[in-house]
Structure 1
């Protein structure tokens, strides 16, 4: 496997002394370049913690995480911040945007912080991304004037500004209605087809059905995986039934 991420024996413990809680129990995981992987499991299974560990957003207790052949578990915080800013993109359930900036400026902000000073080129890239994600014409809109689906599209644009190798998405459709959720997933499929790897946490079988591979977690352990064909006009109903059967087989 031509890997973008390799995690070996990842352990994550929260708390100290009698208050310790082991959330990841020596998890091994590998994500290929350009792959679309979903992580599923009950609340508290460790799926979001694993995503944060693999992206370097959370420090692991033991084990190792390699990203693009760089062992990020040994980087300094500044080095790690550089990797996240230049090679990773992040999409969350609730996009965090600055209220004093319009939608376009919120999208451009990470690239400006990355030292890319040509504002004209950044603005054009942001506008191209906004057109691609269906929010062209909302550049000057305050974030309080945008719908949840529009803000999530803006969050995707922002995540793509620095042309990341991989997108990490934690319940990206959790706060959206079914129509907006389906549109967001279609966008992520298109982004993946263009070569960007995606690692997505979800509890929704319909969302997970868009992935190439599904990892099932329970009590901090990776207990099973389900392989699906690459999503190219495949029958969604058939894919969703496979995901539901996989969930039932492992008791989640």
Structure 2
């Protein structure tokens, strides 16, 4: 299967001189089209840095990152921004919404910024996504008038509004209770089954268990990976146990 993301010999260094910190050290990673990959590791292991690098939200110090056949580091800033906006979606632990816009307008924002798209069709797509994620009827609510779980669902809608090829999710359930977290992960599994690739960073083995493959990071390196079968909703306990055993084996 073709790669959607290919990272080769990725190095990321923060700081200068004696204050340098190597967050990633010669990391190699491939994400296949349609794959759901989770990244796990302790704090400071480089997992979130890897997500930011692969999504083009941060620069590499050395190495190569390709989105399909496109080398991200060779794009001008406006070209890179276009790739991120039209072909990638990002979900954060705390969705950043504009307080002066209602929920629907926040969802639409990434799609209407270039002013070239049919706003009526976009509105219909946004409402369809809200219905799919269970927040239809909340279009005119302010962001302070919805729950954390509803706000995260709106963040997923916003990430999907431009029909991206891949979703990057950085601890998307970290601020949610267990019931909301399960619902959000169920949504992501459904999105993945429809063909969207997903790269998810998490510290929670139960969340990682929804993925097809787990990458384990430690001290700026991918130290191990664990392939899993496609999630079917019936073997969560066994999947979680495999992940915990692998974490113990690599000392994370």
Q: TM-score, normalised by structure 1?
A: 0.99
1:54-69 counterparts in 2 under 5 A? 54-69=54-69
Q: Distance in 1 between matches of 2:161 and 2:61?
A: 32
1:78 counterpart = 2:102: no
- What does residue 109 of structure 1 align with? 109
1:120 counterpart = 2:120: yes
- What does residue 203 of structure 2 align with? 203
Q: Distance in 1 between matches of 2:88 and 2:117?
A: 20
Secondary structure of the 1:172 match is coil
Secondary structure of the 1:156 match is helix
On the 8 A contact 1:4/1:33 being kept in 2, the answer is yes
CA shift, 1:68, in A, is 1.4
Gaps of 5+ in 1: none
Q: Distance in 2 between matches of 1:129 and 1:196?
A: 14
1:61-210 counterparts in 2 under 5 A? 61-210=61-210
CA shift, 1:234, in A, is 3.5
Q: Distance in 1 between matches of 2:74 and 2:142?
A: 40
CA shift, 1:246, in A, is 1.2
Gaps of 5+ in 2: none
Once structures 1 and 2 are overlaid, which stretch shifts more, 208-217 or 115-124? 115-124
1:227 counterpart = 2:227: yes
Q: Distance in 2 between matches of 1:122 and 1:250?
A: 46
On the 8 A contact 1:85/1:114 being kept in 2, the answer is no
Secondary structure of the 1:44 match is coil
CA shift, 1:233, in A, is 3.1
Once structures 1 and 2 are overlaid, which stretch shifts more, 109-118 or 36-45? 109-118
- What does residue 46 of structure 1 align with? 46
Secondary structure of the 1:138 match is coil
CA shift, 1:118, in A, is 1.7
- What does residue 214 of structure 1 align with? 214
Question: What is the aligned-residue RMSD (CA, Å)?
Answer: 0.8
1:14-64 C-alpha deviation (Å, 9 max, x unpaired)? 000111011100000000000000000000000000000001000000000
- What does residue 31 of structure 2 align with? 31
On the 8 A contact 1:86/1:114 being kept in 2, the answer is no
CA shift, 1:120, in A, is 1.1
Secondary structure of the 1:134 match is coil
Change (3 A) 1:116 1:231: farther
Q: Distance in 2 between matches of 1:138 and 1:118?
A: 22
CA shift, 1:249, in A, is 1.0
CA shift, 1:73, in A, is 1.5
CA shift, 1:190, in A, is 0.2
Count of residue pairs brought into register by the alignment:
252
Q: TM-score, normalised by structure 2?
A: 0.99
CA shift, 1:117, in A, is 3.4
